[in-house]
């Protein structure tokens, strides 16, 4: 979950849930959690049942919500849903309404947004849904959680989005919508018409019925219909919001809003795990500046979203896979820890460096080679000196003289006591003089030193960053993006690392 640190600051899932504790507390989750020999819990996110079990357990544990879902329907991911709701909460803070009333367009069978909005934020919600089976399931979820006084579910026809769904004489503080992303079943099966064949399929389990995933013309046409209704309703909804699945959709929608004289337009980015989505908000109330939310957040966290970028021209030898292999080789040379993740529409690596190994790396390599050469010459000189000494000792013995300068005859006399010989006191052995026992110091186990060093390193991470590779068929380039997350080296360390990588990739 490389980009979790870029989640909304109030999102409780910035820190990954404790899967081991969930397995202990919830038997339903336990059957999908597999523990390996090291004690780590492995969880298969490609298993539809496993993902739903995780979501259901988290809803029960963290929000006291008991939610059912129709088999095959869309499984909600809580981090993304909460990021969207928390952004809306920030927008509402601009004028602080006392009793918040909101609308969820296309609530789905699980009715997840209204349930969270009512339970966590105490908002009143109107939900609309076109699918009959989903409408019935949403109503059951509201009743089972005793929230009928806060949430009403309304069945509508396909031609109704906002205009015609609102209750008469009611003004709403916001509307929200997670629209279907795909234009047709062919685009859904391909996931994206611009997907490169070298890309791997998404890591998460596919889910959702056609009404939840497909709409004629795709998300851009669906959101354009919401904009058209907002131009009619104007101030009956104070803040209109939608979630956007493709960044390329934002620009034409913003142009449409400007043409229709929206008073304020704001965007944001939702980062969670391996998924990125965008939020679009607008209002027709004069003086309500929605960009105040983003401007205040930029000082705290939004600057972390701006990556350092490098574009690599795609040629025969430069494919997404080959660039990935080169990157891993470069990072391994720098002793940087890497954790490769498949993000579906891109490749992402989480990087951890405990020291700066990329600054003056050439100079460091030259110094290491020079040091090795000096040590080699020193060893050679030492060997030659020992060889010469051995020859001298042999020569002395052949002449009847030992290495102390005495003849064999003198030595014999001294040993028989016939002649007194003064002897110098023996020097204490160095190893005995410096033992921990004599000095009163405790000997340190080398393994303990390694453990202490490892702990110190974990506390002093020099750089933690996310490196993302994106393959663009339209521009015929591979984009490398480096997101700074944290570390004592700061953003400058990330910039220096990217410069080093660029030079090695050229």
Task: Give the annotated binding-site residues for S-adenosyl-L-methionine.
Answer: 81, 106, 129, 178
Helices (H) and strands (E) in the chain, counts: 18, 14
Cα dihedral value 88, 62, 276, 308, nearest 10: 100
Contacts of 453 (CB under 8 A, 6+ apart): none
Output the CA–CA distances (angstroms, integers) from residue 484 to 11, 80, 142, 424, 480, in the order listed. 20, 21, 41, 68, 13
CB-CB contact of 349 with 341 (8 Å): yes
- Report d(CA 303, CA 273) in Å as an integer: 18
CB-CB contact of 315 with 323 (8 Å): no
Binding residue ranges: 81, 106, 129, 178
- Report d(CA 102, CA 123) in Å as an integer: 7
Strand partners, 103: 126, 175
Nearest CA among 57, 67, 66 for reference residue 28:
57
Q: Any idea what the Cα angle at residue 466 is, between residues 456 and 451, rounded to 5°?
A: 20
Nearest CA among 117, 46, 102 for reference residue 75:
46
3-state helix, strand, coil split of the chain in percent (to 5) is: 45, 20, 35
Strand partners, 112: none
Q: Any idea what the Cα angle at residue 457 is, between residues 456 and 459, rounded to 5°?
A: 65
- Report d(CA 505, CA 75) in Å as an integer: 41
Contacts of 139 (CB under 8 A, 6+ apart): 153
CB-CB contact of 321 with 328 (8 Å): no
**φ and ψ at 51, to 5 degrees?**
-65, -40
Nearest CA among 326, 213, 225, 339 for reference residue 274:
339
């Amino acid at each position: 979950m490389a980009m979790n640190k870029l989640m909304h600051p109030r999102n409780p899932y910035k820190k990954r849930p404790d899967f081991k504790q969930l397995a202990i507390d919830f038997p339903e989750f336990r059957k999908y959690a597999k523990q390996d020999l090291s004690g780590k819990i492995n969880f298969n996110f490609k298993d539809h049942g496993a993902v739903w079990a995780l979501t259901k357990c988290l809803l029960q544990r963290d929000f006291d919500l008991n939610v059912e879902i129709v088999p095959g329907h869309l499984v909600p991911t809580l981090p993304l849903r909460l990021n969207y709701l928390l952004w809306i909460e920030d927008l509402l803070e601009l004028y602080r309404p006392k009793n918040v009333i909101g609308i969820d367009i296309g609530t789905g069978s699980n009715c997840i947004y209204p349930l969270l909005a009512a339970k966590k934020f105490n908002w009143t919600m109107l939900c609309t849904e076109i699918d009959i089976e989903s409408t019935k399931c949403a109503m059951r979820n509201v009743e089972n959680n005793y929230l009928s006084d806060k949430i009403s579910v309304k069945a509508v026809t396909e031609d109704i989005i906002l205009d015609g769904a609102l209750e008469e004489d009611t003004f709403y503080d916001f509307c929200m919508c997670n629209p279907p992303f795909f234009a047709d079943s062919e685009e859904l099966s391909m996931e994206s018409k611009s997907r490169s064949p070298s890309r791997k399929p998404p890591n998460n389990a596919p889910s959702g019925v056609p009404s939840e995933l497909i709409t004629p013309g795709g998300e851009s046409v669906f959101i354009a219909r919401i904009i058209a209704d907002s131009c009619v309703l104007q101030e009956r909804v104070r803040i209109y919001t939608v979630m956007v699945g493709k960044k390329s959709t934002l620009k034409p929608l913003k142009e449409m809003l400007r043409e229709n004289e929206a008073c304020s337009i704001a965007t944001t980015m939702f980062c969670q795990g391996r998924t990125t989505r965008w939020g679009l908000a607008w209002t027709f109330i004069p003086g309500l500046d929605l960009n105040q939310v983003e401007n205040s957040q930029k000082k705290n966290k939004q600057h972390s979203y701006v990556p350092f970028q490098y574009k690599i021209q795609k040629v025969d030898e430069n494919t997404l896979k080959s660039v990935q292999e080169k990157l891993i080789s470069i990072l391994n040379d720098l002793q940087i820890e890497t954790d490769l993740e498949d993000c579906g529409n891109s490749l992402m690596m989480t990087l951890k460096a405990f020291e700066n190994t990329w600054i003056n790396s050439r100079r460091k390599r030259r110094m290491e080679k020079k040091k090795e050469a000096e040590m080699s010459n020193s060893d050679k000189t030492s060997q030659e000196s020992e060889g010469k000494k051995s020859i001298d000792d042999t020569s002395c013995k052949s002449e009847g003289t030992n290495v102390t300068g005495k003849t064999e005859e003198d030595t014999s006399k001294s040993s028989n006591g016939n002649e007194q010989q003064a002897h110098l006191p023996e020097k204490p052995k160095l190893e005995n003089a410096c033992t921990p026992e004599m000095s009163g110091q405790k000997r340190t186990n080398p393994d303990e030193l390694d453990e202490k060093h490892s702990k110190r390193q974990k506390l002093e991470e020099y750089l933690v960053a996310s490196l993302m590779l994106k393959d663009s068929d339209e521009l015929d380039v591979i984009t490398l993006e480096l997101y700074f997350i944290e570390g004592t080296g700061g953003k400058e360390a990330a910039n220096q690392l990217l410069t080093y990588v660029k030079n090695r990739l050229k």
